[in-house]
Amino acid sequence: MTSAFDSIICDIISSAPSGEIKEIYNDLKALTGNKSNDSILEAITAYNIENCIPVNVDGEKVIISKYNKEGSKFFSPVTSTLFSVNHLDRVGLDLEKTDRSLTEEQQGIYDDLLKYTKNSFPGDVTFAVYPGAVESEFVIIIVSTKYSPGNYWNGHWKSEYVFNVNSGSLAGDVDVSVHYFEDGNVSFKFSKDITSEASPSSVVTVIRELENELEKEMNASFTNLNEKEFKLLRRRLPVTRSKINWGKGIGNYRLGKDSSQSQI
Protein backbone atom coordinates (compact mmCIF):
# COMPACT_ATOMS: atom_id res chain seq x y z
CA MET A 1 0.00 0.00 0.00
CA THR A 2 1.29 3.45 -0.90
CA SER A 3 2.01 5.56 2.17
CA ALA A 4 1.00 9.20 2.56
CA PHE A 5 4.69 10.11 2.33
CA ASP A 6 5.07 8.28 -1.01
CA SER A 7 1.95 10.00 -2.34
CA ILE A 8 3.38 13.41 -1.48
CA ILE A 9 6.65 12.53 -3.22
CA CYS A 10 4.73 11.38 -6.31
CA ASP A 11 2.66 14.58 -6.38
CA ILE A 12 5.78 16.76 -6.19
CA ILE A 13 7.62 14.83 -8.92
CA SER A 14 4.61 14.54 -11.24
CA SER A 15 4.13 18.33 -11.30
CA ALA A 16 7.84 19.08 -11.81
CA PRO A 17 9.14 20.82 -14.96
CA SER A 18 10.94 18.33 -17.18
CA GLY A 19 14.30 20.08 -17.12
CA GLU A 20 14.48 20.38 -13.34
CA ILE A 21 14.11 16.81 -12.09
CA LYS A 22 17.67 16.55 -10.76
CA GLU A 23 17.34 19.76 -8.77
CA ILE A 24 14.06 18.53 -7.26
CA TYR A 25 15.66 15.16 -6.48
CA ASN A 26 18.50 16.89 -4.61
CA ASP A 27 16.08 19.15 -2.73
CA LEU A 28 13.89 16.22 -1.68
CA LYS A 29 16.94 14.24 -0.54
CA ALA A 30 18.10 17.23 1.52
CA LEU A 31 14.67 17.53 3.13
CA THR A 32 13.88 13.86 3.74
CA GLY A 33 17.25 12.10 3.97
CA ASN A 34 18.51 8.90 2.36
CA LYS A 35 15.57 6.84 3.59
CA SER A 36 13.38 8.40 0.91
CA ASN A 37 15.76 7.68 -1.98
CA ASP A 38 13.87 4.63 -3.29
CA SER A 39 10.52 6.44 -3.20
CA ILE A 40 11.94 9.43 -5.05
CA LEU A 41 13.58 7.31 -7.75
CA GLU A 42 10.40 5.26 -8.18
CA ALA A 43 8.42 8.48 -8.72
CA ILE A 44 11.02 9.75 -11.22
CA THR A 45 10.79 6.46 -13.13
CA ALA A 46 7.00 6.81 -13.41
CA TYR A 47 7.44 10.47 -14.43
CA ASN A 48 9.89 9.64 -17.22
CA ILE A 49 7.63 6.94 -18.67
CA GLU A 50 4.46 9.04 -18.45
CA ASN A 51 6.10 12.06 -20.08
CA CYS A 52 7.94 10.03 -22.75
CA ILE A 53 11.33 11.40 -21.73
CA PRO A 54 14.20 10.80 -24.21
CA VAL A 55 17.25 9.05 -22.75
CA ASN A 56 20.77 8.74 -24.11
CA VAL A 57 21.38 5.21 -25.40
CA ASP A 58 24.87 4.73 -26.77
CA GLY A 59 24.96 8.27 -28.13
CA GLU A 60 21.43 8.23 -29.57
CA LYS A 61 18.28 9.68 -28.00
CA VAL A 62 15.48 7.14 -27.47
CA ILE A 63 12.04 7.94 -26.08
CA ILE A 64 10.96 5.70 -23.20
CA SER A 65 7.25 5.05 -22.75
CA LYS A 66 4.72 2.39 -21.82
CA TYR A 67 4.67 1.39 -25.49
CA ASN A 68 8.31 0.26 -25.69
CA LYS A 69 8.59 -1.10 -22.16
CA GLU A 70 9.47 -4.78 -21.95
CA GLY A 71 9.63 -6.03 -18.38
CA SER A 72 12.02 -3.74 -16.51
CA LYS A 73 13.74 -2.73 -19.75
CA PHE A 74 12.91 -0.77 -22.91
CA PHE A 75 13.50 -1.46 -26.58
CA SER A 76 14.40 0.68 -29.57
CA PRO A 77 12.94 -0.72 -32.81
CA VAL A 78 15.22 1.57 -34.82
CA THR A 79 18.43 -0.05 -33.56
CA SER A 80 16.88 -3.35 -32.36
CA THR A 81 18.35 -2.69 -28.91
CA LEU A 82 17.05 -3.66 -25.47
CA PHE A 83 18.28 -1.59 -22.54
CA SER A 84 17.73 -0.65 -18.92
CA VAL A 85 17.63 2.99 -17.78
CA ASN A 86 19.24 5.14 -15.13
CA HIS A 87 16.17 7.33 -14.70
CA LEU A 88 17.89 10.07 -12.74
CA ASP A 89 20.68 10.62 -15.28
CA ARG A 90 18.46 9.61 -18.23
CA VAL A 91 21.01 7.20 -19.64
CA GLY A 92 20.52 3.73 -21.18
CA LEU A 93 22.52 0.85 -19.69
CA ASP A 94 23.12 -2.89 -20.21
CA LEU A 95 22.47 -2.84 -23.95
CA GLU A 96 21.65 -6.07 -25.75
CA LYS A 97 20.24 -7.01 -29.13
CA THR A 98 16.56 -7.79 -29.65
CA ASP A 99 14.44 -8.91 -32.59
CA ARG A 100 12.21 -5.85 -32.22
CA SER A 101 12.44 -3.71 -35.37
CA LEU A 102 10.40 -1.37 -37.55
CA THR A 103 8.18 -2.81 -40.24
CA GLU A 104 8.48 -1.39 -43.74
CA GLU A 105 5.35 0.71 -43.15
CA GLN A 106 6.64 1.98 -39.80
CA GLN A 107 10.01 2.82 -41.36
CA GLY A 108 8.25 4.97 -43.96
CA ILE A 109 6.45 6.90 -41.21
CA TYR A 110 9.72 7.23 -39.28
CA ASP A 111 11.47 8.70 -42.34
CA ASP A 112 8.61 11.19 -42.84
CA LEU A 113 8.87 12.20 -39.17
CA LEU A 114 12.58 12.87 -39.64
CA LYS A 115 11.84 15.30 -42.48
CA TYR A 116 9.03 17.00 -40.54
CA THR A 117 10.82 17.47 -37.23
CA LYS A 118 14.19 18.47 -38.67
CA ASN A 119 13.26 22.12 -39.18
CA SER A 120 9.97 22.41 -37.31
CA PHE A 121 11.01 22.25 -33.65
CA PRO A 122 13.45 24.38 -31.66
CA GLY A 123 15.86 22.75 -29.24
CA ASP A 124 16.36 18.99 -29.04
CA VAL A 125 13.73 16.91 -30.81
CA THR A 126 13.25 13.15 -30.58
CA PHE A 127 10.53 11.02 -32.19
CA ALA A 128 9.48 7.39 -32.23
CA VAL A 129 7.17 4.90 -33.90
CA TYR A 130 6.14 2.09 -31.52
CA PRO A 131 3.69 -0.82 -31.78
CA GLY A 132 0.22 -0.16 -30.38
CA ALA A 133 -2.20 -2.32 -28.40
CA VAL A 134 -3.25 -4.27 -31.52
CA GLU A 135 -1.33 -5.26 -34.64
CA SER A 136 -3.00 -2.64 -36.84
CA GLU A 137 -2.02 0.26 -34.54
CA PHE A 138 1.14 2.37 -34.44
CA VAL A 139 2.02 4.90 -31.76
CA ILE A 140 3.74 8.07 -32.95
CA ILE A 141 5.50 10.23 -30.35
CA ILE A 142 7.29 13.56 -30.80
CA VAL A 143 9.17 15.17 -27.93
CA SER A 144 10.94 18.52 -28.15
CA THR A 145 12.82 19.96 -25.19
CA LYS A 146 14.60 23.25 -24.77
CA TYR A 147 16.27 23.73 -21.42
CA SER A 148 17.84 27.07 -20.55
CA PRO A 149 18.27 27.13 -16.75
CA GLY A 150 20.98 29.78 -17.07
CA ASN A 151 18.29 32.07 -18.48
CA TYR A 152 15.73 30.88 -15.91
CA TRP A 153 13.38 28.91 -18.15
CA ASN A 154 12.75 25.39 -19.45
CA GLY A 155 10.28 24.08 -22.03
CA HIS A 156 8.84 20.69 -23.03
CA TRP A 157 6.61 19.63 -25.96
CA LYS A 158 5.08 16.16 -26.21
CA SER A 159 2.69 14.96 -28.91
CA GLU A 160 1.45 11.39 -28.80
CA TYR A 161 -0.82 9.74 -31.39
CA VAL A 162 -2.34 6.31 -31.94
CA PHE A 163 -2.79 5.58 -35.64
CA ASN A 164 -4.90 2.66 -36.87
CA VAL A 165 -3.79 1.51 -40.31
CA ASN A 166 -7.01 -0.35 -41.07
CA SER A 167 -9.52 2.35 -40.11
CA GLY A 168 -7.31 5.36 -40.82
CA SER A 169 -8.19 6.91 -37.46
CA LEU A 170 -5.65 9.17 -35.77
CA ALA A 171 -6.19 10.11 -32.11
CA GLY A 172 -3.89 11.63 -29.56
CA ASP A 173 -2.96 14.65 -27.53
CA VAL A 174 -0.39 17.42 -27.37
CA ASP A 175 1.03 18.75 -24.10
CA VAL A 176 3.23 21.83 -23.85
CA SER A 177 4.73 23.21 -20.66
CA VAL A 178 7.06 26.14 -20.03
CA HIS A 179 8.50 27.20 -16.69
CA TYR A 180 9.86 30.71 -16.08
CA PHE A 181 11.62 31.38 -12.79
CA GLU A 182 13.43 34.70 -13.25
CA ASP A 183 12.54 36.79 -10.19
CA GLY A 184 9.38 34.73 -9.81
CA ASN A 185 7.75 31.42 -10.62
CA VAL A 186 5.43 31.22 -13.64
CA SER A 187 4.26 28.04 -15.40
CA PHE A 188 2.48 27.90 -18.74
CA LYS A 189 0.69 24.66 -19.65
CA PHE A 190 -1.25 23.90 -22.81
CA SER A 191 -2.97 20.61 -23.62
CA LYS A 192 -5.34 19.51 -26.38
CA ASP A 193 -6.89 16.24 -27.55
CA ILE A 194 -6.75 15.65 -31.29
CA THR A 195 -8.68 13.36 -33.64
CA SER A 196 -8.43 13.05 -37.41
CA GLU A 197 -8.08 10.59 -40.27
CA ALA A 198 -5.09 9.68 -42.41
CA SER A 199 -3.39 7.01 -44.46
CA PRO A 200 0.11 5.62 -43.76
CA SER A 201 1.54 7.82 -46.50
CA SER A 202 -0.21 10.99 -45.29
CA VAL A 203 -0.25 10.58 -41.50
CA VAL A 204 2.82 12.77 -40.87
CA THR A 205 1.45 15.46 -43.18
CA VAL A 206 -1.82 15.42 -41.22
CA ILE A 207 0.11 15.65 -37.94
CA ARG A 208 2.09 18.61 -39.27
CA GLU A 209 -1.10 20.45 -40.27
CA LEU A 210 -2.74 19.71 -36.90
CA GLU A 211 0.27 20.91 -34.97
CA ASN A 212 0.56 24.06 -37.07
CA GLU A 213 -3.04 24.87 -36.15
CA LEU A 214 -2.24 24.14 -32.53
CA GLU A 215 0.65 26.59 -32.67
CA LYS A 216 -1.73 29.27 -33.95
CA GLU A 217 -4.01 28.59 -30.96
CA MET A 218 -1.08 28.98 -28.59
CA ASN A 219 -0.12 32.24 -30.31
CA ALA A 220 -3.66 33.48 -29.69
CA SER A 221 -3.37 32.44 -26.03
CA PHE A 222 -0.11 34.34 -25.69
CA THR A 223 -1.66 37.40 -27.30
CA ASN A 224 -4.57 37.24 -24.87
CA LEU A 225 -2.09 36.82 -22.01
CA ASN A 226 -0.12 39.83 -23.23
CA GLU A 227 -3.02 42.17 -23.88
CA LYS A 228 -5.57 41.18 -21.22
CA GLU A 229 -4.57 38.81 -18.44
CA PHE A 230 -1.40 40.62 -17.36
CA LYS A 231 -3.46 43.75 -16.83
CA LEU A 232 -5.41 42.00 -14.08
CA LEU A 233 -2.21 41.38 -12.12
CA ARG A 234 -1.64 45.09 -11.53
CA ARG A 235 -3.61 47.98 -10.16
CA ARG A 236 -5.07 50.31 -12.75
CA LEU A 237 -2.90 53.20 -11.61
CA PRO A 238 0.56 52.47 -10.18
CA VAL A 239 2.20 54.59 -7.51
CA THR A 240 3.21 57.08 -10.21
CA ARG A 241 -0.53 57.72 -10.77
CA SER A 242 -0.03 57.45 -14.53
CA LYS A 243 -1.62 54.81 -16.74
CA ILE A 244 0.43 52.04 -18.36
CA ASN A 245 -0.19 50.83 -21.91
CA TRP A 246 -0.21 47.14 -21.03
CA GLY A 247 -0.57 46.01 -24.62
CA LYS A 248 2.85 47.42 -25.46
CA GLY A 249 4.36 47.82 -22.04
CA ILE A 250 4.40 44.13 -21.14
CA GLY A 251 6.65 43.49 -24.14
CA ASN A 252 9.39 45.37 -22.34
CA TYR A 253 9.54 42.66 -19.68
CA ARG A 254 11.31 39.33 -20.11
CA LEU A 255 8.24 37.11 -19.76
CA GLY A 256 6.26 39.31 -22.15
CA LYS A 257 8.97 39.15 -24.79
CA ASP A 258 9.28 35.37 -24.56
CA SER A 259 5.51 34.88 -24.56
CA SER A 260 4.98 37.06 -27.60
CA GLN A 261 7.53 34.99 -29.53
CA SER A 262 5.61 31.81 -28.55
CA GLN A 263 8.67 29.62 -28.71
CA ILE A 264 9.68 26.94 -26.29
CATH number of the structural domain spanning residue 218: 3.90.1150.210
pLDDT over threshold 90, residue 3: no
Number of domains in the chain: 3
Residues 139 and 167 in one domain: yes
Chosen domain end from 50, 66, 82: 50
Give a yes or no: residue 236 inside a domain: no
pLDDT 10s digits, 143-177: 999 888 888 888 999 999 999 999 999 999 999 98
pLDDT at 204: 96
DSSP letter at 123 equals: S
Q: Are residues 96 and 5 in the same domain?
A: no
Mean pLDDT score across all residues of the chain: 86
Domain identity same for 110 and 220: yes
4 and 91 in a single domain? The answer is no
- The predicted structure's pLDDT at residue 245: 62
Contact 117, 129 (CB under 8 A): no
DSSP letters, 147-176, are EEGGGTEEEEEEEEEEEETTT-EEEEEEEE
Chain-centroid distance of CA 72 in Å reads: 22
- Of the residues 50, 66, 87, the one at which a domain ends: 50
What global pTM score does this model have? Answer: 0.83
Please name the residues in contact with 227: beta carbons below 8 A apart, sequence gap of 6 or more: 246, 247
* Least confident range of 5-9, 242-246, 258-262: 258-262
In contact, 242 and 235? CB cutoff 8 Å: no
Residue 123 falls inside a structural domain? yes
Residues 141 and 122 in one domain: yes
pLDDT at 236: 57
Q: Are 111 and 102 in contact (CB under 8 A)?
A: no
- Examine the domain organization and report whether 160 and 223 are in the same domain: yes
In angstroms, the CA 15 to CA 197 distance is 32
Helical packing angle, 104-118 and 203-227, nearest 10° = 30
- Identify the CATH number of the domain in which residue 61 sits: 3.30.1140.60
pLDDT at 256 over 50: no
Query: How many C-beta atoms lie closer than 10 Å to residue 113's C-beta?
Result: 21
8 A C-beta contact, residue 45 and residue 89:
no
What is the domain range of residue 94?
51-101
**Domain match, 217 and 158 both:** yes
Domain stop point among 35, 50, 65: 50
Residue 86 sits in the same domain as residue 167: no
Domain contains 134: yes
User: Which pLDDT band holds residue 190 (cuts at 50, 70, 90)?
Assistant: confident
Measured in degrees and rounded to the nearest 5, phi and psi for residue 213 equal -65, -35
